[in-house]
Structure 1
Amino acid sequence: MKTNTLRLLAFGVLVLFSSCSSIEIFKEKTEFKPYKKYQNFVILNNEVGLKGFNDDFLNALVGEGLKDALEKTGMRYETENPELVVRFTSNEDVRQREVFNNMYPMWGWRVWDPFMFDPRFNNQSLYSTKNYELLQLIVDFIDPKNDKILMQLTAVSEVHQSREKKKKLEKSVEKIVETYLSHMNQNLP
């Protein structure tokens, strides 16, 4: 009985932490409903040399990530006569956030010597600013036969350190391809 309870508790904690995601996907634009399942694709950025990011490493990371993820779904990469054109861009916006400096430290809720560490009495501000970057990956899925956008997806996340950017972009690519597949599966006749 005790081991079952521990297993259930461990499973609940695992589900809680795995379901928390800091990447939001927005379906920005759809100009028409899909009319067929696409068999092949091309990534316009890789073929024409468009830069979605200022950093060449991030540009290659997203291009190769999209290519690999779409090929895992059964689609082929074809440059001659593609049924689907994929294009990506980015928006990297540096921002600031106000953070409240807790005036109650973890030890005793100011029971002892309340004036020693209180920022109000040491000419310190109760608020400080924290820098972060709002990272947006925008991917267009274009049908060249109709010359219309099948779907435009935007993945939005916050990056607090530069080393986080690679992981966030990899996860964003995965989520965008998952959203594309679910959109296609729901709307095909």
Structure 2
Amino acid sequence: MQRFQIIGMLILFTSCSSIEIFKEKTEFKPYKRYQNFVILNNEVGLKGFNDDFLNAMVGDGLKVALEKTGMNYETNNPDLVVRFTSNEDLRQREVFNNMYPMWGWRVWDPFMFDPRFNNRQMYSTRNYELLQLIVDFIDPKNDKILMQLTAVSEVHQSREKKKKLEKSVEKIVETYVTHMDYNLP
């Protein structure tokens, strides 16, 4: 019985992924396996984020993750150019505040019609940040975008932004690898 509870909890936590990956644009089908790459933001000094720490973290994370796939970092004559940007939007969400407890929708609650408790607000707002990491994989020989991937997640606290970005980088590189494996002959 305890095994099923542990397995159920693992499935619940792994299936509730809060990062979604969208393949925005592909201008051509890959024709070869890319051996080396360069990250344009690191070489030219482009800022993908307003925060220098997050900018360096994403650049280094992309470099390490792509090197794990067997590619080499090459600044002189790369097969693939990688560029990243971000979109950080502050937003608000309306949240329903359940006035009724779980037992019987307060049918048996003596305080249901008490005027002191009926002035509670049904809705409130919660602030969050919609975080988008946009990564372009560009073929410099064709001068076209091989693929543009966008990782979208919600950040409710500033301390979880770093973790979300690390997971986003991992998922983007994973999506890039599966796209290449699927489309190459």
TM-score, normalised by the number of residues in structure 2: 0.93
Aligned residues: 183
2:134 aligned counterpart, secondary structure: strand
1:113 to 111, 117, 123: 111
Superposition pairs for residues 92-103 of structure 1, below 5 Å? 92-103=88-99
For residues 51-82 of structure 1, the C-alpha deviation after alignment (integer angstroms, 9 at most, x for no partner) is: 00000010001000000000001100010000
1:46 to 35, 39, 42: 42
For residues 33-61 of structure 1, the C-alpha deviation after alignment (integer angstroms, 9 at most, x for no partner) is: 10110000000000000000000010001
CA distance in 1, matches of 2:158, 2:5: 35
| Structure 1 runs (4+) greater than 6 angstroms displaced | none
Is 2:144 the counterpart of 1:139? no
For residues 92-133 of structure 1, the C-alpha deviation after alignment (integer angstroms, 9 at most, x for no partner) is: 0000010111111357743131245876x32x4211111000
1:11 to 7, 27, 36: 7
Deviation at 1:27, TM superposition (A): 0.2
Is 2:168 the counterpart of 1:172? yes
Alignment partner, residue 83 of structure 2: 87
2:17 aligned counterpart, secondary structure: coil
CA gap 1:118/1:93 in 2 versus in 1, 3 angstroms? farther
2:158 aligned counterpart, secondary structure: coil
TM-score, normalised by the number of residues in structure 1: 0.91
Deviation at 1:154, TM superposition (A): 0.2
